[in-house]
Amino acid sequence: MARIQKALCAFCGSSMKVYGHRHLGPVNFLMIGILSFYLMFVVWDDFDLRALAIFVCLAFIGEVLTHLRWRLSLQCKSCGFDPVLYKKNNEAAAQKVKAHLEHRKMDPTSFLRPMPKLPVRKVKPGAEKSSKNTLNLQI
């Protein structure tokens, strides 16, 4: 049932596999309904409305696990970039990439793997850095 799509990391450009479904679909809810119906007859030997509680619990667990699987598949394994975190907070995403790369430097299992190709900022030689605390006044 899991639809896997190939995607590229927006930061380093490495290829990765992303799960296509964020939430449960109608077929998943049908399977959960059949499972809860079966469990109802196993536990109570007759039709019982407590099976709705089983259905709700199983649907909640399935939804959480499906969303978690989708969310974890978005993170790049090579550079640690997380696009969902980037949309919410740019600085936190940058810190996460830095932490991932620092951890990768110290990890002996990644010594022989190639480093990800990270984007490089090009600064013009004549351009000065302007900080937020300085004012450029022209008289």
pLDDT tens digits for range 48-101: 888 999 999 999 999 999 999 999 898 888 888 888 898 999 889 889 888 988
The residue extents of the domains of the chain are 4-110
Predicted model pTM = 0.68
pLDDT for 135: 45
Closest to 79 (Cα-Cα) out of 106, 109, 105, 100: 100
pLDDT exceeds 70 at position 136: no
Q: For residues 1 and 110, give the distance between their C-alpha atoms in angstroms, rounded to a whole number.
A: 33
pLDDT for 137: 45
User: Of 22 and 119, which is predicted with more confidence?
Assistant: 22
Average pLDDT, the chain: 83
Sequence-distant (≥ 6) Cβ neighbours of residue 47 within 8 angstroms: 40
pLDDT exceeds 90 at position 18: no
